[in-house]
Amino acid sequence: MKVVIKGDSMWPTYSDGDIISCSEFNNSDIDLSSVVIFNHPLKKGVVCVKRVKRIDGDKLFVQGDNPDPTASEDSHNFGWISKDLVFALNNE
């Protein structure tokens, strides 16, 4: 599966328009620093690409790579996400 990066939240790792290869998430283990693709917990139809910064059981704290805190809508804004929202992992 291919995912297109939209915006600057994952810069400098990925830039707006980059296409990344992903595999379907089958509820396997997620490691710290993995890049996950998930459905936004508060906005229906919005897909997010973020890096896992903390794991607590089935909850993930995700964050964009951009050092500018205003460049990413992530767990700082919407809190921890459930693993159930994740549908893909980045293969790179």
For the chain, the domain total comes to 1
SS3 per residue for 28-81: CCCCCCCEEEEECCCCCCCEEEEEEEEEECCEEEEECCCCCHHHCCCHHHHCCE
Per-residue pLDDT of the chain (92 residues; tens, 9 = 90+): 899 999 999 999 999 999 999 999 988 789 999 999 999 999 999 999 999 999 999 999 999 999 998 899 999 999 999 999 999 999 77
Domain CATH code at residue 20: 2.10.109.10
pLDDT of residue 51: 97
Residue 22's domain comprises: 2-90
Can you give the pLDDT at residue 40? 96
pTM given for the model: 0.93
